[in-house]
Structure 1
Amino acid sequence: MARIGVVSISDGRDHVHARNAGFIQSKQDALVRSLSAAGHDVVAGSELVATNTLATSVAREVAAAGVDVTVFYYAVWSFPHFTMLAADATRSPLVLVASTDPTEPGLVGMLAAGGALDQIGRAHTRLWGAPDDAELVEKIGVQARAASAVASLRGSTFGRFGGRPMGMNTAVANTDQWMRQFGIDVEEIDQYELVLRAERADAGEAAKAREWIEAHAAGVHYDGRKLTPELLERQIRSYLAIRDIIAERKLDFSGIKGQPELTEHFATMDVTEAFLNDPYDWNGPKDVHVTATEADMDGALTMQLFHRITGTPVLFADVRHYHADRDIWDLCNSGQHATWYAARSDDPAENLAKVHFYPEVFFFPAGGASVQHIAAPGRMTLGRLTREAGEYRLQLMLGEFESYDDATNTELMRQSTPEWPHAFARLDVAGERFLSEFGANHIHAVPGDVRAELRAAAALLGVRVDEWSRG
């Protein structure tokens, strides 16, 4: 959850504030209890703001605690210039919240403050309700989670292994624009570094990992040519190498070009990418390290934003095929459908029991294992940050992942590439519109409906939202 600051604004007349202070404090305490009960870390101002000097000092005190978002709370009529001074003392996103208790004019105070902020162009969100209103608490939580996710991007570093893959323009972004708009630096790393490190990686650790995969996966289908124990261990050593580079260079998220150099002469990065994106490996639980195949920068940026909001792995896939007769999309790509998506379980054994490791197909002469499964069914949020004439937009929609009986699943997979991972998705947008307007070949997904958080995050990032639905 996020860290939320709460600053209550009062009336500047001494006798009025003296009368109202207990009322304001009781409302603030109730709001803080509600937010804390929802799992947030709440930092309340040490005093109620009833003077111009307190407006600045209390806001600075709360800002110094590193809050993701600051709530200015209006339980009574409040002098608007206190809000202006407090806003100037913090750089965090602002949420103005009014008490709806009719005994005091909290709504009036919020509207006067909000209008003043409008006049100077300071963006903010306005909410209202009782301090124990679950809907209000959730709306504040949406803003806080979005602000936390956006703040986590600033000062982060993306590790870009390799360059543009196979002429894919949508996989390459302007590094100046990333720094200016998102505060993200890009560390360029040659894929040769990965090869060298993989050759030197711990052979014993690679053997241990291979045996763990063999013991837990639905199948490791060695063919003696494109997939051998040695090739699987080479892929695992690549994972170990990347982990070392991530730690040394303090990378926050990454992308690996892969094609064509590694896939022609070394091994595919499917196993490496899958386990980087997973919340576990053979040594137990670990942090997800968002990693995009084909060094897709905007794909990785989308995934990192989604991950920071949900905390879950993020699916990466090609929009491979539209089954118009079923109104279902096959989201399929060699690369990193994290194995977590096979069952979305906290138990890796439960996920891997649905995962097959097949020999790579003809596209990839160097061989290795593809990580194959069908994504577990459920409601999903799907989308991607794409660019139109150089400006970012978030193309966003809901969908459902579906899975069928074995015969139907097999039939659908065989129509594309059965050795690769698949997510069969029913999207909340007409097929014709999607194919006419979607700005890339890659799409990303996370479980549940987090569109509200993503709308809020896009607003903070200065990114327009193109949201699709059938309604």
Structure 2
Amino acid sequence: MAKVGVITFSDGRPHVHRELLSMNLAFQERLVRRLRESGHEVVTAPEPPWNNETAVQAGKLLQREDVDCTIFNYAIWSWPHFTVLAAQFAPRPYLCLSNINPGYPGLVGMLASSGALANVGIPYIRVSGDVEDEKVFRKIETFIRAASCVKSLRGETFGCFGGRPMGMYTATVGADVWAKVFGIDVEHIDQWEIVRRAETIPREKIEQAFKWCEENVGKILYDGKQLTPEILKRQIASYYAVKSLCEELHLDFCGIKGQPELTNNFCTMDVAEAFLNDPYDFDGPKEPIVCATEADMDAAITMEILKKLARTPVLFADVRHWHEDYGVLDLCNSGQHATYFAGGSFDYRDNLPKVVFYPEGFYFPAGGAAVHHLAHPGKVTLARLGRKNGTYWMAILRGEFVQFDEKTNEEIMRRTQIEWPHAFCRLETSIERFIEKFPCNHIHAVYGDYVNELIMVCEILGIPWEIL
């Protein structure tokens, strides 16, 4: 949950401030109570600002408390310059909230105060209504979740293992751009570090993880060439190598180029990428670490945002093929999907029996296990950050992961790439509109509806968005 700052503004005339103080504080208490009932920590100003000094003090208090966002609260007429002064210190982003109090011009105060913020170039979000109204409070919650997401991005570090993959402009962006737009730093690491570090992982640790895979993965289809026990152990060592590098270099999320250097000469990163994104690994429960294959940076930042909003692993896939006869988009990529999606569960015992380790195909001569499964059915939110002429925008859409009978599922997957993981997605848009609008080849998804939160994240970041 978030740490929320609340400043309830007052009238600048001392006698009006005193006369309406108890009413003003009662509206503040209603808001604070609802926020705390939702699990948020709330910090309030010691008194509603009614002059320049108290406005500055209120803003500085929230600054010292390092709140995730600030709600400017209005129940009566409030002098607009108090809001501007508080905004010089109170942490962004800002929600300007007008309560329902028709006998007193709180809406007027909110509109005048937010208009003042606009005049000086300070962005904000507006909401008006009764905080006891669930529809209104959902809007407030949506703002808080989005604000907390944006706040937590700032100061994070992305680890880029390798460089631009196979000429993809949509996968690579300058570190200065991310610092400006998201407040994120980018650490570039040579892929050789994965190879080198993998050789240092204790053998007993690798053997224990290998045994765990053999006991829990549904099937491991060794073929004596592309997939052998030794190659799988190399993939496990690669996972531990990347995980340890993330810990050592304080990387919050990462991406691995993979092709062609590792996939031609070492092993595929499918096992590493799947279990980094999972809520567990060979050693037990853990926090998912977003890892984008092909070092796709705009994939990784989209996934990091979705992870923070949904608090679950995030799907990474290619937009592989539209199956006209079944009306589904086949989302399929080389082993990248977290095994979480096989059962939609945080318990590996629900997911791994549905997973098959296939031998890699001809694309990857170094070999390895492809982490195959079919995504669990459920409503999903899909998204992707893209760039038009160097400027970010986000494509957002709703869909549903579906499955058919076992024979049909396999027949559909064999049309494309049986050894890779799949998600059959029914879109809440036409395939023509999707193909026309979607920004690139990679797409990302979480179970649930987070469309409003994504819109709010974009509004806070100043990024255009479009629902497809």
TM-score by length of 2: 0.98
The 5-angstrom pairing of residues 69-468 of structure 1 reads 69-468=69-468
Amino acid at match of 1:319: V
Any idea what SS the aligned residue of 2:132 has?
A: coil
The 5-angstrom pairing of residues 9-48 of structure 1 reads 9-48=9-48
For 2:87 and 2:9, locate their aligned partners in 1 and report how far apart those are by CA, in whole Å: 12
Amino acid at match of 2:79: F
For 1:322 and 1:302, locate their aligned partners in 2 and report how far apart those are by CA, in whole Å: 23
In the alignment, is the contact (CA less than 8 A) between 2:95 and 2:127 conserved in 1?
yes
In the alignment, is the contact (CA less than 8 A) between 2:403 and 2:409 conserved in 1?
yes
Cα distance, 1:147 vs structure 2: 1.4
Output one character per residue of 1:306-360: Cα deviation in whole Å (capped at 9) or x when no partner: 1122211110000000012222100000032001111111211101121111111
Output one character per residue of 1:23-66: Cα deviation in whole Å (capped at 9) or x when no partner: 11111111111011112222122222122111110111012211
Amino acid at match of 2:295: A
Unaligned runs of 5+ in 2: none
In the alignment, is the contact (CA less than 8 A) between 1:28 and 1:131 conserved in 2?
no
For 2:454 and 2:160, locate their aligned partners in 1 and report how far apart those are by CA, in whole Å: 25
Output one character per residue of 1:69-106: Cα deviation in whole Å (capped at 9) or x when no partner: 10011111111121111122224111111111223222
Partner of residue 68, structure 2:
68
Output one character per residue of 1:292-312: Cα deviation in whole Å (capped at 9) or x when no partner: 001111111111111122211
For 2:196 and 2:110, locate their aligned partners in 1 and report how far apart those are by CA, in whole Å: 60
In the alignment, is the contact (CA less than 8 A) between 1:63 and 1:92 conserved in 2?
no
Any idea what SS the aligned residue of 1:43 has?
A: strand
In the alignment, is the contact (CA less than 8 A) between 2:2 and 2:148 conserved in 1?
yes
For 2:350 and 2:32, locate their aligned partners in 1 and report how far apart those are by CA, in whole Å: 39
In the alignment, is the contact (CA less than 8 A) between 1:293 and 1:335 conserved in 2?
no
Greater mean deviation of Cα atoms: 165-174 or 251-260: 165-174
For 1:191 and 1:158, locate their aligned partners in 2 and report how far apart those are by CA, in whole Å: 15
In the alignment, is the contact (CA less than 8 A) between 1:5 and 1:63 conserved in 2?
no
In the alignment, is the contact (CA less than 8 A) between 1:327 and 1:431 conserved in 2?
no
Partner of residue 3, structure 1:
3
Output one character per residue of 1:447-466: Cα deviation in whole Å (capped at 9) or x when no partner: 11111111111122221102
For 2:261 and 2:164, locate their aligned partners in 1 and report how far apart those are by CA, in whole Å: 12
For 2:22 and 2:458, locate their aligned partners in 1 and report how far apart those are by CA, in whole Å: 38
For 2:307 and 2:317, locate their aligned partners in 1 and report how far apart those are by CA, in whole Å: 15
Unaligned runs of 5+ in 1: none
In the alignment, is the contact (CA less than 8 A) between 1:27 and 1:131 conserved in 2?
no
Any idea what SS the aligned residue of 2:199 has?
A: helix
In the alignment, is the contact (CA less than 8 A) between 2:381 and 2:449 conserved in 1?
yes
In the alignment, is the contact (CA less than 8 A) between 1:149 and 1:308 conserved in 2?
yes
For 2:113 and 2:29, locate their aligned partners in 1 and report how far apart those are by CA, in whole Å: 22
Amino acid at match of 2:372: Q
For 1:32 and 1:59, locate their aligned partners in 2 and report how far apart those are by CA, in whole Å: 17
Cα distance, 1:403 vs structure 2: 1.1
Identity among equivalent positions (%) equals: 51
Give the count of matched residue pairs.
468
For 1:146 and 1:131, locate their aligned partners in 2 and report how far apart those are by CA, in whole Å: 18
For 1:395 and 1:254, locate their aligned partners in 2 and report how far apart those are by CA, in whole Å: 22
Output one character per residue of 1:158-213: Cα deviation in whole Å (capped at 9) or x when no partner: 11111112222211112221122222221111111110111111211111111111
Cα distance, 1:439 vs structure 2: 1.7
Any idea what SS the aligned residue of 2:366 has?
A: coil
For 1:424 and 1:249, locate their aligned partners in 2 and report how far apart those are by CA, in whole Å: 37
Any idea what SS the aligned residue of 1:295 has?
A: coil
Output one character per residue of 1:129-165: Cα deviation in whole Å (capped at 9) or x when no partner: 2232222222111111111111222222111111112
In the alignment, is the contact (CA less than 8 A) between 2:354 and 2:373 conserved in 1?
yes
Cα distance, 1:275 vs structure 2: 0.5
Any idea what SS the aligned residue of 1:183 has?
A: coil
Amino acid at match of 2:128: W
Any idea what SS the aligned residue of 2:87 has?
A: helix
Any idea what SS the aligned residue of 2:416 has?
A: coil
For 2:15 and 2:439, locate their aligned partners in 1 and report how far apart those are by CA, in whole Å: 60
TM-score by length of 1: 0.97
Cα distance, 1:415 vs structure 2: 0.6
Greater mean deviation of Cα atoms: 420-429 or 104-113: 104-113
Any idea what SS the aligned residue of 1:423 has?
A: strand
For 1:437 and 1:102, locate their aligned partners in 2 and report how far apart those are by CA, in whole Å: 45
